[in-house]
Amino acid sequence: MGLRSFAADLLPAALNLRPRGFGVDALPQQTPETYAGLSETLQYLSKADQKRVLEAFRFADGAHLGQFRASGKPYITHPVAVAGLCAAWKLDVQAIMAALMHDAMEDCGITKIELIERFGAPTAELVDGLTKLDKLQFNTREESQAESFRKMLMAMSRDVRVILIKLADRLHNMRTMEAMAAHKRTRIARETLDIYAPIAHRLGLNQVYRELQELAFKLLHPWRHAVLAKALERARGTRRDIVDRVRREVEEAFAEHKLKAEINGREKTTYSTYRKMREKHDGFASVNDIFGFRIIVGDLRDCYWAMGILHQLYKPVPGRFKDYIAIAKANGYQSLHTTLVSPLGTPVEFQMRTEAMHAVAEKGIAAHWIYKVDPTGQLGAAPQPNATPAGVAPRHANGKPGKSGGEPAPMDTAAVGALWLQSLMDIQDETRDSAEFLEHVKIDLVPEAVYVFTPKSKILALPRGATPIDFAYAIHSDVGDHTVAAKVNGDAVPLRTPLASGDVVEVITSPSAKPNPGWLNYVRTGRARSKIRHYLKTMESEESRALGEQMLSQALRAEGLTLPSADPNDSAAALLWQQLARISGNRGRQELLVDVGQGRKVAVIVAKRLAQLMSDRGTRPNAVALTLSRFGTDDSTPTQGAVFIDGSYDTTVSLASCCRPIPGDAIAGYLGKGEGLLVHTTECRVGRKLHSRDSERWLHVEWAETPVRAFETAVVVQVRNGKGVLAQVAQAVAHAEADITHLDMGEEAASDSAELKLRVAVRDRVHLAEVMRSMRRAAFVMRVWRVKP
């Protein structure tokens, strides 16, 4: 079942629709190990579906016959336990069968075709999504792991039951890890903490999230876990009196106002305490002074009513109130949070939510099945056309809040999950490398969020530390690609500015703008990072192709020929390009030209091959062009012609940082292997040394008549120390219509004079001379000279 089939259909509003005996307690610690134990958890399925589960069990039992776990137990106990955890979420029959057979393809040689024939395509697809890829396909374990994660997450984006089964699998493995070798325990625990626990949190599965964190922490740092666990146990005993007093006073206040509520203490986990100690660089006593209560009430209005009663009872701590009902978290979590000061001056945290919100907070996306299974075992029907929007209180005609058929449905966690899963698809579309894909996903799993507004008051949830660039890409990739500036709360800000909750963000775009590689240093979302990288790679490929075409054309001109047509309808030219690409070891014309532009193929050699192919087809060199190309220039490498530098190539042509050439300088180009074209001045000592070692890779390059941008070069300004010196130099540069792009004042002790090392952006040598003359006229300037290596 795909996400689209339930994206708008998560929980019924009325609490009396909960299955009998269902609560949001922790997942069962004692999972079944036999089919008899499993069958007791499957009573919510129809008799026909229970028979299908039994058939899947027998198939899995036969497939795993003779296999044992590291603990010595029969291997089948693990799939049965995983199916038991899935049954606790009330997953459907296909998911239970897939849980029983999730290792059959990977460990037992069962094929997908066999599963389709016996259990149907949907179940087979689930099992296939849970199966790791063949390790023999990859060079390293890391590569295999990254590609397997990619496969699983893509299967999850099509059917979220894949990740639910996988999380149940990982949870049971983590619970039974004692028999594993130490190095395997450490690797699996680290993987769990980095990948699986954040995925559980991202999908709102907070019970699984907390338990996976605890188990991983215990395996990674057993001594720290033991010490903190003992400290927490002691702390619970010492503060029991204050907890009981606060609970009693809250219950009395609610009874006085006739508010029905369930009050539960909220315990901190060992790992959350440890993480807070590390983040705050503080001791146990400092981070353990806050204890909390969770208050569960009947409907949405009672949440705010309960908060008002509490604020009358105790003084609230300023700045510690958060309304996650009006603005839900990215994973669909909804509650009111407030921190109050108890009678003994101790901070006390309270969370107010309805029972349905509590179910979503604990079960997340899995709550869909818990709430929507009918007696036949099928998923419930879609919501009614006039249903109240999720998270919005119904209103009477007079505009006042009212019940109107019960409590409003909580945040649509499935829809929230669908949004994140769609973002995975977007990242997948832009990323072909598995390791890079996994890196983007890890970034996107950050649970901390800020909530910002568009100028039209639309709310967007972004990771903490997100910038206007992340905001722009969250709106649309075209907006992100063409961003030039941003305003936050009406004020212009740098694009690297971290956003805060409540900010109103406006992005300013320009049709000519394009992504800056420097953005990768501070964007936080996987979507923004993958979009920027994809654009830069595409741009690099296109620029390399254009440069390669120019170089090959000029090299072929030295043979007295012109490039064949690129028109795919020209069959003769297309066949010629196909033969040339095959001879050169490329898949096609595009790839060949990119290789030439990036220096992986030498233009002269490719041109000679092309000339030979053209000659075989009867094409003869143009005698006039051949004569001019050989004798019309005194260049040391005339057969390659000249590549013109106009500043339009951002990735395939770069200017050497040692000599920083500008238009007007005599230049030469070095074509490194896979590095593109590097331009030096002919006077550059670094370039000369490189030429003496590898002269064959040097090309004749010239400045274009009309460069499209300014070029940086380095100058040194010797000045007398005094007030306003820097301002005078900057004013002189600005007066000459140039820009200072970098300034280095050195770390020498103050003296009568100092040297300022500047990088200035100028049009050409004439413009540089004007800038230097302008600086020399400043009163404090003693000398100005250009840096030459």
Amino acid at 740: I
* CA dist., res. 600 & res. 640, Å (int): 16
Catalytic residue (one of 61, 106, 114, 191): 106
Alpha carbon 52 to its chain's center: 39
What's the burial of 429, exposed, middle or buried (CB within 10 Å: 0-12/13-18/19+)? exposed
Let me know if 178 is a catalytic residue: no
Cα Rg, the chain, nearest whole Å: 34
Six token digits for residue 754: 């100092």
Query: What b/e readout covers 610-635, taking b as 16+ CB neighbours within 10 angstroms?
Result: bbebbeeeebebeeebeeebeeeeee
Let me know if 106 is a catalytic residue: yes
CA distances from 31 to 37, 125, 169 (A): 8, 25, 12
* CA dist., res. 707 & res. 709, Å (int): 6
Three-state SS for 714?
strand
Query: Phi and psi of 15, rounded to 5°?
Result: -70, -20
Characterise 724 by phi-psi region: left (phi > 0), alpha (psi -120 to 50), beta (else): left
Catalytic residue (one of 33, 107, 436, 635): 107
Q: Helices 77-88 and 161-175: crossing angle, nearest 10°?
A: 120
CB contact at 8 A, 468 and 487? no
* CA dist., res. 438 & res. 449, Å (int): 20
Amino acid at 311: H
* CA dist., res. 389 & res. 8, Å (int): 10
Total H helices, total E strands in the chain: 31, 20
CB contact at 8 A, 568 and 576? no
Residues 6+ apart with CB under 8 A from 662: 711, 712, 713, 762, 764, 765, 768
Catalytic residue numbers read 106-107
